[in-house]
Amino acid sequence: FRLTTIEEFEQATERLLETGQKVGADSWQARVKNQTPHCKFGEEGICCRICTMGPCRITKKAPRGICGCDAHGIAGRNFLRFTAGGAATHSDHGREICHTLHAASPDGNYQVKDPEKLMRIAKEWGLETEGKDIYDLAHEMSELALLEYGKPFGVQRWLSRAPEHTRKLWQAAELEPRAIDREVSTAMHMTHMGCSSKPEALVRQALRAGMSDGWGGSMCGTEFSDVLFGTPKAVDTEANLGVMKEDQVNIIIHGHDPSLSEMICEYAEDPEMIALAKSLGATGIQVAGVCCTSNEVAMRRGVPMAGNFLQQENVVLTGACEAIVVDVQCIFPALGPLSKCFHTKFITTSPIAQMPDSDFIRFNAKTAGENAKQIVRMAVENFVNRKQDLVHIPQMKQKATVGYSVEAIIHALDGVAAGQGEALGTTKPLLDCITSGVLRGAVAMVGCNNPRVRPDSAHIKLMKKLIKNDILVILSGCSAQAAARAGLMDKRAKDLCGDGLKRVCELADIPPVLHMGSCVDISRMMVLASKLSIDSGLPVSKLPLVGCAPEWMSEKAVSIGNYVVATGIDTFLGVDPQVSGSSEMVYWLTEGVRDWVEASYTVEKDIEKLGDAMIARIEEKRAALGI
């Protein structure tokens, strides 16, 4: 066993780009060159275009916009709008899931696969569950969840999962999110021309809007996806482009909402569809994922992961992709023109993400089965249009064990507890490992790829460094896929760990980096951190636990960062959040917020140093606890 190297990833990409050149395809690699250098004003966050007196840019000669707003106000407003975009996006994904739950019925397209979890949440929300039909309960719960988006009074229900100490901090700093939509609206209102220009106020609302995502919309997305599609358990799968099959119909699913991808997976297994594929010369149908859609179906079904964000063009460049089926978020509009250079069908399905040069098949919870069947059929029938001379699938893949929901992690920890004769079903074994120093701590690594960083290199380099230092790594989003493609989710990767982590991996039978799911599933990490805090009696901020997004790019990532910091977890970024043009914004994000939530951001573009800083912070926290 050995890891796949970054150089091998890159050689595979180079080879695919050659095919691209043959057919005159554009690529992100080429577009990055065309866009470089980027606009400095934008990079530093000091360009304002929120009214038509502008756009205004801050320079030495022009230190204020026409309305008189300075660099701090402009960078602050930009940061808050960026957060609002992310919070709206994640939360709307969560809302769609609530609607899917509302449409669930015993004989409809969607069923409740984890009734036990639904009951658990219903009790948590104070509902009477005794003798109630599970579908009646599902509908009642989905209505309550949907009200969280617009309720006129009160704060988010999920906050009650947080430790007492954290809740007090939130109350004191006015960070408890009210209705989810309201926090996004307030953010838009505050950043309108002539409203807030004070960094402190803008940062405060940025944290609260982030909270409405992580402790609101995203948590709805995660929890009700589990109710509908099953709570993930450890499952084996494979990752990298080599999961695509030359002799099969390859359907790539990309985006976020499992309501679509689950259905596509179902119909790809339909005997009628398989028979059709065989009649057209294929040996079967292979579904593989990209981005968070991939994480969702890998976690619940073991569907292989073709790649992450910056690999989305590569799947088409294999020449063996019959259809790339997308819903929302992180989808390159480039897939339209690119798919036209091949036989690939680029199928968009959501009114939220409509793109030129795609086939739009509107997907809807009520007609989901028919829609999915139509899409799968379209892909299968497209097999005969493959241009054989363009087909090249890099023969590169790794085994991975994924599916580590909080429930699955606790289940795995029971393996450790049993070995030590301890109680089962708690985070205590993990805490014991941390206290004794067998594990030094944990890092939650998340986020995208970004051409500003050599793709995947920061993720993989940091993970290797951390596990070697006996730090357990939990992952979500495209970071998780980087790990899986490299081989770090293969249980045999335990040999790359320090002795302590290696022993934990053996006792619990886990890989050294744990796949916790998609980006909305970072809410799982908040639940885990809260459990650790409650079980240990320590504030979250005192636990040797940090967050990291070394290659992030999206608005959603900033929203996430804000709720992770607001939960008391120091967060380390490898890409600048475009506020460097304002010393005050830099102060508030890297220091000021610590007074409210006992955590803050660190930005460090040198990846080696970023890793050292995380380890140092973990050791600092240990020293403060005297462990």
- Which of Fe ion, ligand SF4, ligand WCC, none does 573 bind, CB closer than 5 to 8 A by kind? none
- Which of Fe ion, ligand WCC, ligand SF4, none does 65 bind, CB closer than 5 to 8 A by kind? ligand SF4
Using the minimum distance from each CB to ligand WCC, give the nearer residue, 199 or 307.
307
Using the minimum distance from each CB to ligand SF4, give the nearer residue, 51 or 361.
51
Residue whose CB is nearest to ligand WCC in the complex, by number: 448
> Quick one: how far is CA 626 from the chain centroid?
34
- Which of ligand SF4, ligand WCC, Fe ion, none does 54 bind, CB closer than 5 to 8 A by kind? ligand SF4
| Cβ 347 vs Cβ 326: under 8 Å | yes
Beta strands in 413-536 (DSSP E): 441-445, 471-475, 513-515
CB atoms within 10 A of CB 171: 12
Q: Applying CB under 6 A, what is the total number of residues that bind ligand SF4?
A: 14
- Which of ligand WCC, ligand SF4, Fe ion, none does 447 bind, CB closer than 5 to 8 A by kind? ligand WCC
Q: Please tell me whether residue 441 adopts helix, strand or coil conformation.
A: strand
Shortest spacing between CB 192 and ligand SF4, in angstroms? 9
Using the minimum distance from each CB to ligand WCC, give the nearer residue, 48 or 478.
478
Shortest spacing between CB 66 and ligand SF4, in angstroms? 4
Q: Comparing C-alpha atoms, which of 539, 564, 532, 531 is closest to residue 549?
A: 564
Q: The dihedral of CA 116, 117, 123, 129: what is its sign?
A: negative
- Which of ligand SF4, Fe ion, ligand WCC, none does 309 bind, CB closer than 5 to 8 A by kind? ligand WCC
CA–CA gap between residue 222 and residue 94 (Å, rounded) = 7
Using the minimum distance from each CB to ligand SF4, give the nearer residue, 55 or 333.
55
Among the listed residues 12, 16, 56, 220, the single contact to ligand SF4 using CB under 6 A: 56
Shortest spacing between CB 74 and ligand SF4, in angstroms? 6
Contact between 519 and Fe ion per CB under 5 A: yes
Record the tokens describing residue 457, joined without a space.
């290199």
- Could you give the dihedral angle defined by the CA atoms of residues 473, 484, 91 and 78, in that order, rounded to the nearest 10 degrees? 80
The contact pattern for ligand SF4, residues 161-200, with x = CB under 6 A and - = no contact, is --------------------------------x-------
Count CA atoms within 13 Å of residue 250 on its CB side. Answer: 31
DSSP 309-363: GGGHHHHHHTS--SEEEE-SSS--TTHHHHHHTSS-EEEE--TTS--TTSEE---
Among 62-70, 118-126, 362-370, 558-566, which window interacts with ligand SF4 (CB under 6 A)?
62-70
- Which of Fe ion, ligand SF4, ligand WCC, none does 564 bind, CB closer than 5 to 8 A by kind? none
Shortest spacing between CB 70 and ligand SF4, in angstroms? 9
Shortest spacing between CB 182 and ligand SF4, in angstroms? 23
Residue corresponding to tokens 């809302």: 95
CA–CA gap between residue 179 and residue 156 (Å, rounded) = 7
Instruction: Give kind and range of the element (H or E) at residue 400.
Output: strand 398-402
Using the minimum distance from each CB to ligand WCC, give the nearer residue, 89 or 530.
89
Non-local (6+) Cβ contacts of 395 within 8 A are: 242
CA–CA gap between residue 522 and residue 516 (Å, rounded) = 8
Using the minimum distance from each CB to ligand WCC, give the nearer residue, 4 or 293.
293
Q: How far apart are the first and last CA of the chain?
A: 35
Contact between 55 and ligand SF4 per CB under 6 A: yes
Non-local (6+) Cβ contacts of 116 within 8 A are: none
Binding site for ligand WCC (CB under 6 A): 291-292, 309, 330, 447-448, 477-478, 519, 554, 556-557
For residue 235, CA distances in Å to 51, 470, 524 come to 51, 24, 18
Q: Which amino acid is it at 80?
A: L
Give the 3-state secondary structure percentages of the chain, helix then strand then coil, rounded to 5. Answer: 55, 10, 35
Q: Comparing C-alpha atoms, which of 574, 556, 562, 564 is closest to residue 256?
A: 556
Using the minimum distance from each CB to ligand WCC, give the nearer residue, 466 or 519.
519
- Which of Fe ion, ligand WCC, ligand SF4, none does 53 bind, CB closer than 5 to 8 A by kind? ligand SF4
Contact between 448 and Fe ion per CB under 5 A: no
Contact between 549 and Fe ion per CB under 5 A: no
In the region spanning residues 289 to 348, those forming contacts with ligand SF4, defined by CB under 6 A, are: none
Using the minimum distance from each CB to ligand WCC, give the nearer residue, 268 or 292.
292
Among the listed residues 25, 155, 276, 292, the single contact to Fe ion using CB under 5 A: 292
Among the listed residues 8, 54, 355, 592, the single contact to ligand SF4 using CB under 6 A: 54
Contact between 372 and ligand SF4 per CB under 6 A: no
Shortest spacing between CB 69 and ligand SF4, in angstroms? 4
CA–CA gap between residue 137 and residue 383 (Å, rounded) = 43
Shortest spacing between CB 326 and ligand WCC, in angstroms? 12
Residue corresponding to tokens 């998780």: 480
CA–CA gap between residue 235 and residue 150 (Å, rounded) = 37
Q: What is the CA radius of gyration of the chain?
A: 24
CA–CA gap between residue 13 and residue 1 (Å, rounded) = 23
- Which of ligand WCC, ligand SF4, Fe ion, none does 67 bind, CB closer than 5 to 8 A by kind? ligand SF4
Using the minimum distance from each CB to ligand WCC, give the nearer residue, 353 or 417.
353
Among the listed residues 12, 16, 25, 48, the single contact to ligand SF4 using CB under 6 A: 48
Contact between 49 and ligand SF4 per CB under 6 A: yes
Residue corresponding to tokens 């699955």: 408
Contact between 66 and ligand SF4 per CB under 6 A: yes
Residue corresponding to tokens 């866009």: 35
CB atoms within 10 A of CB 387: 11
CA–CA gap between residue 260 and residue 363 (Å, rounded) = 7
Shortest spacing between CB 231 and ligand WCC, in angstroms? 20
Contact between 446 and Fe ion per CB under 5 A: no
- Which of ligand WCC, ligand SF4, Fe ion, none does 614 bind, CB closer than 5 to 8 A by kind? none
Using CB under 5 A as the criterion, which residues of the chain lie in contact with Fe ion when the complex forms? 292, 477, 519
Using CB under 6 A as the criterion, which residues of the chain lie in contact with ligand SF4 when the complex forms? 48-51, 53-56, 65-67, 69, 74, 193
